[in-house]
Amino acid sequence: MSNIEQMRTADLVAALKAAAEPTRLRILLLLAGGELNVKDLTLILGQSQPRISRHLKLLCEAGLIERFRDGSWVYFHISDRQAGGRLALRLVADVDPSEASVRRDRERAEALKRERESVAQSFFEEHAADWDRIRTLHIAEKDVEAAMRRALGDRSFEFFVDLGTGTGRTLELFADRFERGLGLDVNQTMLTFARANLKSKGCTKAQVRHGDIYSLSLADGQADAVVMHQVLHFLSDPALAIREAARVLAPGGRLLIVDFAPHGLEFLRTREAHERLGFPHDQVAGWLQDAGLALRAVEDLAPKAGSRDDMLTVTIWLAERPATQMPITKISLPKEEAREGAR
């Protein structure tokens, strides 16, 4: 018996009633394509914020969607780890995608997504030459890079992929570990800089090219290792990017994610085009599980005591496409030291 069939009759009826209202069905269709906040939905659907908030509240109460907070923003999504979420996905799968209102909502959502991500791209273009310097404003990059190398271990990789390669620094860092390296980035200015950087460092086994992190031009199961270094917080749909990274991993292949722990520095949204203010362990773990990957290790790199107030903690997640069963480990600094560093 499926989890949906195991839902209580009252819960199932409530969920179906909630989904039957036209605007709420449109909301479910949009959330099936990725996480959105109230402001996004008001712009796409052309309805007032109180009205959209009311619809979202009813959908949450019916168990069809979930909400999570990211700084001062609240996002909504459909989680297929819950029976209500799986029911929502089954319902929207039966909706004709060519219907005029459905097509119009999808086009508006895509336009909004492109507009938001163009802000990040403009920032990249403006700061391409000093992007590595900007990264060091948050936590010592040498410490992060050392932890990245420890996480991936001493093994060598036949095909190594760096998503959102930026300046190509990650390819340079692991040049001694792979036979063939590929860096993908959507920004041509960054790619130009990365090519020049890798050439000057003698990284002849690595190349970079244009690529969409949501739709990689790579075959399934092709990569032995994929790295996403300080990429997720710029994305509108981090979960989709993780699923796409998982798709190209070979059995036993490893995915290394490096990003910020949750923080409250709201100015990073405007000053540095951050979409998300860090990620809690369980959120990324859920995305990895949904993508069919096994979480192998988590490591927090907290700033040292006495650091500036705007220094951020960096988290490293190591996941693997299962080939063997391994225990999950969790590594972090002592609580007292991490607490002092956060002051």
Span 198-236, pLDDT tens digits: 988 999 999 999 888 998 989 899 999 999 999 999 998
328 C-beta neighbours (distance < 10 Å), count: 12
Cα within 13 Å of Cα(216), Cβ side:
26
| pLDDT digit string, tens, across residues 182-193 | 999 988 778 888
Q: Would the pLDDT of 121 be above 90?
A: no
| The domain made up of 130-341 is a member of CATH 3.40.50.150 | yes
pTM exceeding the 0.85 threshold for the entire prediction: no
Q: What is the pLDDT of residue 325?
A: 46
**CB 58, CB 18: distance < 8 Å:** yes
Asked if pLDDT for residue 333 goes beyond 60, the answer is no
The mean predicted confidence, pLDDT, of the chain is: 85
Candidates 136, 140, 131; CA nearest to 303 is 140
Could you tell me where in the chain the CATH 3.40.50.150 domains are found? 130-341
Rounded distance between C-alpha atoms, residue 196 and residue 193, angstroms: 5
The pLDDT tens digits for 11-56 are: 899 899 999 999 999 999 999 887 889 999 999 999 999 999 999 9
Q: How far is CA 228 from the centre of its chain?
A: 9
Q: Give me the mean pLDDT over the 303-317 stretch.
A: 81
Which burial class, exposed, middle or buried, applies to 163 when counting CB atoms under 10 A from its CB (0-12, 13-18, 19+)?
buried
Of the candidates 27, 7, 10, which has an alpha carbon nearest to the alpha carbon of residue 84?
Answer: 7
pLDDT class for 342, splitting at 50, 70, 90? very low
Among candidate residues 308, 291, 307, the one with its CA nearest the CA of residue 220: 291
For the cut 60, the answer to whether the pLDDT of residue 335 exceeds it is: no
* Contact in structure between 296 and 285 (CB atoms under 8 Å): no
pLDDT at position 169: 94
Please list the residue range(s) of the chain that carry CATH number 1.10.10.10.
Answer: 9-95
Residue 334 pLDDT level (bands cut at 50, 70, 90):
very low
Q: Which residue has the higher pLDDT, 104 or 186?
A: 104
Average pLDDT over residues 70-78: 81
Amino acid identity of 111? A
How confident is the model over 329-340, as a mean pLDDT?
Answer: 40
pLDDT at residue 340 tops 80: no
Structure confidence at residue 225 (pLDDT):
98
Instruction: For the chain, give the number of residues.
Output: 343
Q: Which fold has domain 9-95?
A: Arc Repressor Mutant, subunit A (1.10.10)
| Residue 284 vs residues 103, 315, 317: alpha-carbon distances, Å | 31, 10, 8
Per-residue pLDDT, 8: 83
How far, in Å, CA of 144 to CA of 301, rounded?
A: 7
Q: Tell me the C-alpha distance between 36 and 94, whole Å.
A: 22
For residues 56-65, give the mean pLDDT: 94
